Structure 1
């Protein structure tokens, strides 16, 4: 997910800022972005790739009218569940600093990835968490440790058991 820090990092480089501005103003192909931003096609392509990785642009610039900015999502109201900007769909993008918010996010991940009172081998826990962490800022090992530390997963005898969430 896009966080304020990741937006600032992504747009701090002048070529990416120019490419992003071109997309926001309607450039829909790599050629459009290059022309509107004054960048060489290679530089525009690199900038767009970085912007896609940062979650600020989606689509394929090689296909006409397929490139769209995700800037609108940055101004959307935060959902009442409090998961944004840390969870996007079934992906964990980052973890909040606040202990209470981090716990809420990790409870959500645990409730979606595991069935309470079910035992899992470490390899299966890792695979389930890798799916959640793919493309985010947090690795699955860190998430697994937090889940154990917060007693959302219990570890013993080489197995992990998902715990029921408090009501």
Structure 2
């Protein structure tokens, strides 16, 4: 997520009319008329606000209905709240542990690092969940990754793209990363 994304989303909701319209859609308004009525603003203004929120990714059209995208806000908060590993005090001197700790909470990944070097450290940590030399069905890989990330598909792709896992005909195996001895 780009560094300015949380600020951009916050600025979208800084106008009282847009905030009221977004809230109305979050609370169940699905039509422009219903959202305008709930927000207490004219339909024309509601439509203008919905268009701006749609361009910003906070609402979307599903046919003739509006739907809120509160997950976009959640992702922005998670990305913004992930501390920069370079700011962490390293008590034990282990840089890899600090990088992993910076992007996980209670064993769950809260954000994938933007910096490739930090992402590789985190992916190496995740790859250790797979035994070298063992072939795993995609469902098994997904189950392991779901236990540590809400976006298991992106995590799986990243592990393959960065050379920690390889795949062929629905099966995966570990092909990279460090091995605990």
TM-score, structure 2 length as denominator?
0.46
TM-score, structure 1 length as denominator?
0.50
Q: Which has the larger radius of gyration?
A: 2
The one of the two structures with greater contact order (alpha-carbon pairs below 8 A, sep at least 6) is 1
